[in-house]
Amino acid sequence: MGISQEDRKMEGWLYLIRSNRLGLQFSRKRYFVLEENSLNCYKNIPTSREQDPIRSALIDSCIRVTDNGRESINRSVFFIFTLYNASNHNDQLKLGARSPEEAAGWIRSLMEAALKECPIKGENVVACSKRRWQSFRLSRSKGRSRMHSIDWTAFSSVHTDPMTSDVIAPSPWTIFGCKNGLRLFKESKDGDFGGKPWDDHPAIMAVGVVDATSEAIFQTVMSLGPSRSEWDFCFSQGRVVEHLDGHTDIIHKKLNGEWLPWGMRRRDLLLRRYWRREDDGTYVILYHSVFHQRCQPERGYVRACLKSGGYVISPVNQGKQSVVKHMLAIDWKFWKSYLFTSSAKYITIRMLARVAALRELFRAKLGNCPASDFSSGELTRERLQKIVKEDIKEEVQSVGETSMSLDSTEEPQKYLMRTSTGGSFIQLNDPADEFFDFPDESDYEEHETMRPSSEEQRQPKLSAAAGFVKRLHDLAVQKRGYVDLQEASLLDSASCSYGATLRKDPSCSVGCSWTTSDPSTFLIRSETYLQNQHKIKANGTLMKMVGADWLKSDKREDDLAGRPGGIVQKYAAQGGNEFFFIVNIQVPGSTTYSLALYYMMDTPMENVPLLRSFVEGDDAFRNSRFKLIPYISTGSWIVKQSVGKKACLVGQALEINYFRGKNYLELGVDIGSSTVARGVVSLVLGYLTNLVIEMAFLVQGNTEEELPEFLLGTCRLNHLDAAKAVSIPPW
């Protein structure tokens, strides 16, 4: 994979992910070239620019890219992403890369290519939903299309900002010691910085520097195979109990007893694991304990409860090294109360020493050569990728040994898979080609023990949203404050006054209420941002927050502002010049929850050109500009890490349905349209009653005329409760 600086194109090997008529997935290795906004597919590396591709597709402003995460297909691990047409979700292309870095590079380049086709404000354009677009599926090429030259630096909306946070907030951690080269931190609560005694289950974090790329460390930490015993001295055995989606699974870890205090029985952990990659190359891995019917407590083990924990792996020194943060808050389930505080703290700190073991592992495998000895990060990455491949290969060998006990009827199929040759790309629908494909040599080097059960392989795969909700419904998380939204009881409501169902409380002392956040908490682009990437504190908001709704229904509820009896229609009936901006965040499930935030301004739209362009523009322009800055000001570490504090272009990650009325614009943000977003929101919902959530909304400025940016509005949501959501009556 690489990006050519001369003609600004990206190319490399990817895998086409297909499903046969039985719902079983298979892969095809193909060489892809993304040049300007044309995606071309070849069987082999093209020998000249004049060579015609076997398939090609146009990347335009209607194209969306979804990160599907990590998935095992025929015992090979891929990092999947899907391209689809926003006007026709059935028109899609599923691709897989061998590493998360490759997948992230392709996702970024494809998003940039799509943004090149975004309409510029002031042009006479038509929304993509009303245009007749060429089918996005790769079509046969009858000749290489020549595109006009495009300025790849014109759009900065998908370029990574140098700042890691767009929120000014105090650190909740205070250092209390240093051991084995690791700094140790304790989580401070309610502004306490060491004055109070330790909690029974303290949240402790270890921070260290590892001489390896963040990708290599991520692959090592995610592995549950025998190679984990090379650095994880707590680990005995591990397996994947259930694969929920590409970013979430349920894992079971058995801990050995050699490192535990004398007389303490062995522990095990049943965890829900979630991961994601940030734009700057940082990997976040989060864990918390769950209950699962397929993994009951075993004799000889005491099941500990991980309240929250995980890793944050951030690249430094041009990617040659990484800062690893490892946090744990565990209830070790002691039966003697006097052992609580002292032993829990001691054992947790001992377990955090795995960061030092991880550091020494990479030092040993790099031959004790410091990272500064390498002229670039490429050599380091190549050697570390080789290390990871060897680890995965060891895991495959253990899988092969266990698979020998399978039914003998599977042997002919295995033999055919190894001996038959792959068909052409044109014959993908041929039955023989669906089942049997000759694997590449690298295919056997990157297998993993994360194999789906034979029962799962035979079942046609559910849609991502339906499958996620079904699996989430079967889980009950063992932690205080967890709320299962799928089983929350429905409350009848005779009427619904839209814009007033959630209580306002400026004092922030009442649960399930809202108020506004301090605008100076959030950072926005300054007037000189295009020259120096400098951001400044926001000093106010353009609009005033006038109401909020916390609703539930058996279906998705759109266009709340257009319904009679609400605050928007009341102002419209009075004939005033007020304009409303509504953000309706929709959480899907057997019960769909909607959080609607209402903002109002009485300034003429002509006085705010950027907002006018946004309101009157088409969906493609809106999706490329609408930005959200999230912030969890009160809550668990695991939720704060999951949500983050970085601004994001919502329309590039989620489906947004726009509803334009006489005096309003409503944005329906569908959380269910993204695997990553569903994982984050499901985690947040589990801690919902313990959280204070703050958000800021703005339209991104990309030109000198549009800078400095300004906030449309802010909000602060205090301890929302699913049981207090208002049912929407039929209308």
Q: What is the mean pLDDT of residues 669-677?
A: 85
Report in angstroms the alpha-carbon separations of 385 from 213, 217, 220, 389, 650: 9, 10, 10, 6, 33
Q: What phi and psi values does residue 623 have, to the nearest 5 degrees?
A: -65, -30
In contact, 683 and 274? CB cutoff 8 Å: yes
pLDDT score recorded for residue 335: 67
Q: Sorting pLDDT into bands at 50, 70 and 90, what band is 498?
A: very high
561 token code pair: 């502002």
Q: Which positions ≥6 away from 490 have C-beta within 8 Å?
A: 552, 591, 727
* Per-residue burial over 533-566, b = 16 or more CB atoms within 10 Å of its CB, e = otherwise: eebeebeebbbebbbbbbbbbeeebbbbbbbeeb
Chain centroid offset of residue 294 CA: 26
The DSSP H or E segment spanning 112 is helix 100-116
Of the chain, the end-to-end C-alpha distance in Å amounts to: 53
Q: What percent of the chain has pLDDT over 70?
A: 72
pLDDT score recorded for residue 62: 81
pLDDT at 258 over 70: yes
Q: What percent of the chain has pLDDT over 90?
A: 54
Range name among 48-57, 337-346, 579-588 with the lowest pLDDT average: 337-346
Three-state secondary structure call for residue 358: helix
Q: Where are the domains of the chain?
A: 1-159+406-461, 173-381, 485-727
Three-state secondary structure call for residue 362: helix
Q: What is the mean pLDDT of residues 320-326?
A: 96
Q: What is the mean pLDDT of residues 623-642?
A: 93
Q: What is the CATH number of domain 1-159+406-461?
A: 2.30.29.30
Three-state secondary structure call for residue 442: helix
- In the numeric block, the tokens 């003609």 are attached to 7
239 — alpha (psi -120 to 50), left (phi > 0) or beta? beta
Neighbouring CB atoms inside 10 A of 581's CB total 23
Strand ranges, E, within 543-590: 544-553, 579-587
363 token code pair: 């030092």
Does the domain made of 173-381 have the CATH classification 3.40.50.720? no
287 token code pair: 């864990």
Q: Which residue has the higher pLDDT, 90 or 361?
A: 361
Residue pLDDT, tens place only, 118-146 = 544 444 333 443 333 344 455 555 444 43
Residue pLDDT, tens place only, 3-37 = 554 456 899 999 999 988 888 899 999 999 999 88
d(CA 445, CA 75): 10
Neighbouring CB atoms inside 10 A of 34's CB total 21
The DSSP H or E segment spanning 414 is helix 411-419
Q: Closest Cα to residue 675, out of 250, 183, 82, 46?
A: 82
Q: Which positions ≥6 away from 686 have C-beta within 8 Å?
A: 288, 477, 479, 481, 482, 483
Query: Residue 452 has what DSSP assignment?
Result: P
In contact, 713 and 542? CB cutoff 8 Å: yes
Residue pLDDT, tens place only, 292-307 = 999 999 999 999 999 9
Q: Closest Cα to residue 723, out of 482, 382, 545?
A: 482
d(CA 720, CA 687): 10
Do 1-159+406-461 and 173-381 fold alike per CATH?
A: no
237 token code pair: 């055995």
Q: Sorting pLDDT into bands at 50, 70 and 90, what band is 189?
A: low
396 token code pair: 């495959």
Strand ranges, E, within 201-358: 204-210, 235-245, 248-255, 267-277, 283-291, 302-303, 305-316, 321-331
pLDDT at 377 over 70: no
Give the torsion through C-alpha atoms of 370, 373, 377, 380, to 10 deg. Answer: -60
270 token code pair: 């049943």
pLDDT score recorded for residue 681: 83
Looking at residue 336, its amino acid is: K
| Averaged pLDDT score across all residues of the chain | 78
The DSSP H or E segment spanning 598 is strand 592-601
Q: What is the mean pLDDT of residues 145-152?
A: 35
d(CA 563, CA 582): 13
pLDDT score recorded for residue 174: 93
Q: pTM for this structure?
A: 0.74
Query: Residue 236 has what DSSP assignment?
Result: E
In contact, 208 and 361? CB cutoff 8 Å: no
Let me know how long the chain is. 731
In contact, 246 and 675? CB cutoff 8 Å: yes
d(CA 458, CA 451): 13
Range name among 443-457, 547-561, 617-631 with the lowest pLDDT average: 443-457
pLDDT score recorded for residue 394: 41
Q: Sorting pLDDT into bands at 50, 70 and 90, what band is 356?
A: very high
Range name among 338-347, 423-432, 563-572 with the lowest pLDDT average: 423-432
pLDDT at 589 over 60: yes
Q: Nearest 5°: CA angle at 166, between 210 and 690?
A: 85
Query: Residue 595 has what DSSP assignment?
Result: E
Q: Closest Cα to residue 618, out of 117, 110, 85, 128?
A: 128
Residue pLDDT, tens place only, 695-727 = 999 999 999 999 999 999 999 999 999 999 999
pLDDT at 49 over 50: yes
pLDDT score recorded for residue 154: 36
The DSSP H or E segment spanning 664 is strand 664-670
pLDDT score recorded for residue 413: 36
pLDDT score recorded for residue 493: 39
d(CA 152, CA 154): 6
pLDDT score recorded for residue 652: 85
